Structure 1
Amino acid sequence: MPIARVHRISASAPNDVSGIETAIAAGRIDPTGVVAVLGKTEGNGLVNDFSRGLATTALTLLFERHLPKADAAQICLVMSGGTEGGMAPHWIVFERGEGEGGASPSLAIGRAHTPALPFEHLGRVAEVEQVAAGVRAAMRDAGISDPADIHFVQIKCPLLTAQRIAEADARGASVATRDTLKSMGLSRAASALGVAVALGEIAREKITDAQVGADWSLWSGRASTSSGIELVNHEIVVLGMSKSWSGPLAINHAVMADGIDIEPVRAALARLGLGASGQLDVAQRGKLVALLSKAEASHDGLLRGHRHTMLDDSDIASTRHARGFVCGALAGLVGHAEIYVSGGAEHQGPDGGGPVAVIVDRSN
C-alpha cells in the first residue's frame, strides 16, 4: 500500500540543496520515491526571477546524482519565487513509498507533466483544456477517482517572453498578450480554470477566452498555480485523501475570502486535530508538516471596505505585497513563517482571497 512522506527543509539560498542531500544520506529521504519538490526561493517572483531556474538546476543535478536522468526528469519541480516579509525560504519534498503505514484514509500524491504548450494557447481555453487533462492524469497517478477527495492541486505553468512571442509570430500565430508580465497572470488564470474543470467546480462550456483572467466570479477552491520562465509545459501535483493509501499524514483545505480571513484556516487545522483558540503552541507546531497558500491583492483596491495600495505601487508588484501580507497573517495563526505562499491567485479562490492546504502528521 502506498505511503506518502512529506519533508519540509530550510534553504539558505536558491541553490542550497544541502538539507535534502543530508536527508538522503541519512536515509530519511529515498530519492527513488520522490514525486515532487515545491520550493520558495528569494527572488522577485516576476518574469526575470532566475532564482527559480537556479533552484530547478540545483535540484535536477542533485537528483541526477542518485537517479537515472530519465527518472530525475519525472520529478515535478515547482519553484515559487518571492519570500517577502518574514517568509522563510524552504523546500517541501513529496515522497511516495510502500508498506503498511497505519491510519487510512491518508494523504495521497499524484503527478503529471503536460506536453509543451504552444505559446499562442497561453491564457486561452486551449490551456484550460490541457491543464484539465493533466490534472485528471495526476489523479490517476494518485489512484484517486473522486474529485471530492482532492484537497489541493499545485501547478507550475509557463509564461511568455519576447523570444517566445517572436516564435509564435514567425508561425503566423497570435498570442493572448505581448506583455510578458501580464502573461504570468493569464497562464496562472487558465491553469486554475483547468483545475476547476477537472474537479467539476466549473463546467468547461461555461468558460470562454474572454473570461480567462477577467471574470473573477469563476474560481477554484483547490487550485494553486505559479508561472515561471524555467519551463514551457505544466508540472502538476495533486494532493488528496485516499483509502488506498496509509500512513500518518493527512490533508485538509480551506478558502480565504481575503488576505486576513484566517478563520477558515483555523477550522481546517481543527479538522486535522490542531484545534486552538489562538496561535498554535509548540507541540501543535510540531505536527504541522506544511502549509500551502495563495495570495493576491483584490482587484477593486479594497480590503474589507478600506483602500489598499498594493495595485498602485509602481515600485513593487502587487503579488510581492500580497505574499508577504498573507504569510504574516498565517504565521500569526500557526506560529512560524516557513509557509509556502504563492502570489497571483487569478481564479484561485474569490477575488482577493485564495485556497489554503494544511498537511498534518497524526502520529506525533
Structure 2
Amino acid sequence: MQRNSFDVIRIPTSGPGDVSGLMALVDSGGLKPSSILAVLGKTEGNGGVNDFTREYAVAALCNALAPRLALTPRAVESRIAFVMSGGTEGVLSPHMTVFARGHSPEAAQDSAGEARLSVGIAHTRDFLPEEIGRNAQIGETASAVATAMREARIDAVSDVHFVQIKCPLLTSERVQDALARGKTTVTASGYASMGYSRGASALGVAKALGEIGADVAEAQALKNWDLYSSVASCSAGIELMHNVVILVGNSRFSASPFRIGHAVMKDSIDLPAIMQALESVGLSGLDPPSQSRLVNIFAKAEASPNGAIRGLRHTMLDDSDINATRHARAAVGGLIAGVAGTGAVYVSGGAEHQGPAGGGPVAVIARH
C-alpha cells in the first residue's frame, strides 16, 4: 500500500484573476495540474454579499486549468476544491495556497513514525435557499467532513487541525424563490445569511469531530456561543449553493514533508495562541529559520460581541462606515503578519461557532 504525499505551495497574486504564478509553476514542471487537490485563496474584495472577486478568481483558475486537464471549466470546479475568501484589509496580501497530492512508494507499515500532513476534500449537495443556516446544512456538512477525513486517511479527530468550508449565502432572488414555493428562509438579509451559513457549517464540523453533541441543531445556531469548533474556518460566498470542504491534518499514512498544528485564539489580540500554534509544528516565531520553514498561517477573526476586549471598549461594532468583520480581519491580520514576517497569511472574518466568541482557530503549516 502506498503512502500519500502532499505538497503545499503559497503563490502571491496581483489581482483576483491572476493565475500567472500558478501557471508558471505548471509550465516549469514544478506542479502537475492533475495533482492539484485544492486551492485556498484570499482576494481583495469586500468579503460581503456583493464580493464577486471570489467568483472571478475561481472562474480564472478553472479556465486556465481546463485545457491542461482536458476538462470543461465546470468539470474542473467539481474536481478541485476551490475556496476563495474575500477581504485583505490592512497589511494582508492577496495570495493562494495550493494543495497537491502525489504518492510515495514506501509501504504503509513504514509509516508508524511521526504523522505528516494529509489533505481530504469533499462537496455537499446543493442546498435549497430555505436549508441554508438550518439542520440540512449542519447534517450535510458533518457527513462531508467525515468523507474528507476518510480521504485524508486520518484515524483520530485529534489529528485534524484545520477544516476550511466554503458555504453559500442568500440573495433577494434566492429568498423570493423560497417564498414562491411556500417556504421561509432563516433570514431575509443577505448579509445576515452569511453568518447563519458559516455558523451552521461550523456546527457541522464540530458535530463530525465530536466537539459538540450529536443532538445540537439549528435552534442553537447564532444563539449558544458555548458551542464551537476549534478547527473550523468557514467563508460564505455568492458563487455557490453547496459547501466545499478542505480538511487538513496529520496522518501516519502520509509521507509529506509538512506538518500542521493549531491553537485557539480567545480574542483578536491573543498573541500567545499564535505562538502556541507555531510551537506545535516546531517553529519559534520571529527568528529567520522559523520563517523560512513556515508555509502559511490560517486564522479566523471576529470582533468581540460584547463590545470589549479584556475589559476595554472597542468601536468595531459601532462603525457605520466599515463593517466589524473587516476591522477584525485587519486587526488579526496585522498581529499574525508581524509574527510571520509576511502579509501573505490567510485571515478570514466572521467566526460564528469557530472558536470561542470573539476569538477563533489559528492553524500553521510548516516544512518538517
TM-score bracket relative to the smaller structure: over 0.9
| Aligned 8 A contact 2:200 2:218 in 1 | no
**Separation in structure 2 between the aligned mates of residue 225 and residue 100 of structure 1, nearest angstrom:** 35
For structure 1, the 5+ residue unaligned runs are none
| Aligned 8 A contact 1:297 1:322 in 2 | yes
**Separation in structure 2 between the aligned mates of residue 157 and residue 82 of structure 1, nearest angstrom:** 16
For structure 2, the 5+ residue unaligned runs are none
SS at match of 1:204: coil
Amino acid at match of 2:242: N
Could you say which residue in structure 2 is the equivalent of 1:118?
A: 128
**Separation in structure 2 between the aligned mates of residue 155 and residue 208 of structure 1, nearest angstrom:** 18
Could you say which residue in structure 1 is the equivalent of 2:10?
A: 8
Could you say which residue in structure 2 is the equivalent of 1:48?
A: 50
| Aligned 8 A contact 2:277 2:362 in 1 | no
4+ long deviations beyond 4 Å: 100-104
Could you say which residue in structure 1 is the equivalent of 2:24?
A: 22
Q: Find the partner of 1:264 among 273, 288, 302.
A: 273
Q: Find the partner of 2:261 among 252, 264, 267.
A: 252
SS at match of 1:311: helix
Could you say which residue in structure 1 is the equivalent of 2:63?
A: 61
SS at match of 2:93: coil
> Aligned residues, how many?
358
Taking structure 1 as the reference length, the TM-score comes to: 0.96
SS at match of 1:95: strand
**Separation in structure 1 between the aligned mates of residue 12 and residue 348 of structure 2, nearest angstrom:** 17
Aligned positions of 1:99-248 closer than 5 A: 99-100=104-105, 104-205=114-215, 207-248=216-257
Which whole-Å deviations, capped at 9, do the CAs of 1:65-113 have from their partners, x for residues lacking one?
A: 2112335521011000000000000000011111258974110000001
**Separation in structure 2 between the aligned mates of residue 361 and residue 169 of structure 1, nearest angstrom:** 51
Could you say which residue in structure 2 is the equivalent of 1:92?
A: 97
Could you say which residue in structure 1 is the equivalent of 2:360?
A: 354
Kindly state the Cα deviation for residue 204 of structure 1 after the two structures are TM-superposed. Answer: 2.2
**Separation in structure 1 between the aligned mates of residue 76 and residue 93 of structure 2, nearest angstrom:** 29
Which whole-Å deviations, capped at 9, do the CAs of 1:311-348 have from their partners, x for residues lacking one?
A: 11111111100001001111122221111000000000
**Separation in structure 2 between the aligned mates of residue 138 and residue 209 of structure 1, nearest angstrom:** 23
Taking structure 2 as the reference length, the TM-score comes to: 0.95
Which whole-Å deviations, capped at 9, do the CAs of 1:245-272 have from their partners, x for residues lacking one?
A: 1121000001000001021221221222
**Separation in structure 1 between the aligned mates of residue 81 and residue 55 of structure 2, nearest angstrom:** 13
**Separation in structure 2 between the aligned mates of residue 271 and residue 39 of structure 1, nearest angstrom:** 24
Could you say which residue in structure 2 is the equivalent of 1:34?
A: 36
| Aligned 8 A contact 1:289 1:360 in 2 | yes
Q: Equivalent pairs: percent with the same residue?
A: 49
Amino acid at match of 2:262: H
Amino acid at match of 1:153: V
